[in-house]
Amino acid sequence: MVANLSEILPTAQDFMEKLAKAQAQEAAKLAHRMEKVESERRALIQQLTKPSGVSDEEAIRRAVKIIESAVSNGLTEVQVYRFPNSLCTDRGRAINQGEKGWEATLTGVPKEIYALWQKYFQSRGFKLKAQIIDFPDGKPGDVRMTLDWTDS
């Protein structure tokens, strides 16, 4: 017979406590990661509310590269930007409803993109569309801006 059984065979309760401790550590790690992701998301949104610092000429060059790539793949429109609805003053409601004047709700970089389109691309036959592309919890989520160069 084993001299001291408790030294080599913990109780079921001991194993349950060990499991609970491991699960608590994993939950803490997950919470920390989620907190970090949320913090990074808030920082990105804050950055996107400020001017991009990109000159009109550079922005046009970037857009032309995107358009050329799309055309070489047989496309007539391309997503030029995706952003959280929090960059709209109404959180994307006017875009979702297709209301006239939705562009007035834009802030930050999306507002710059709209202004660039209006100043340079619109007169050259390009159309800019904005639409909500996901609905987390049934509410408007991210917004996609697409540039279209079809005739209709």
Indicate the SS3 state at residue 11.
coil
Taking Cα atoms as reference points, which of 78, 72, 74 lies closest to residue 117?
A: 78
Alpha-carbon span 131 to 144, nearest angstrom: 5
The DSSP bridge partners found for residue 14 are none
Q: Please name which of 78, 81, 116 lies closest in space to residue 95, comparing C-alpha atoms.
A: 81
- Tell me, what's the pLDDT at 126? 96
Q: Supply the pLDDT for residue 131.
A: 96
Give the DSSP H/E element, type plus range, for residue 131: strand 127-132
The domain limits of the chain are 10-48, 56-148
85 exposure class (CB count in 10 Å sphere: 0-12, 13-18, 19+): buried
Which pTM was predicted? 0.71
pLDDT of residue 20: 93
pLDDT at 34: 86
pLDDT tens readout for residues 133-143 = 999 998 889 99
pLDDT confidence of 152, banded at 50, 70, 90?
Answer: low
Q: What is the pLDDT of residues 3-53, one digit of tens each?
A: 687 778 888 999 999 999 999 999 999 988 888 877 777 776 677 677 778
What would the pLDDT profile of 56-109 be if each residue is shown by its tens digit?
A: 999 999 999 999 999 999 999 999 999 999 999 999 999 999 999 999 999 999
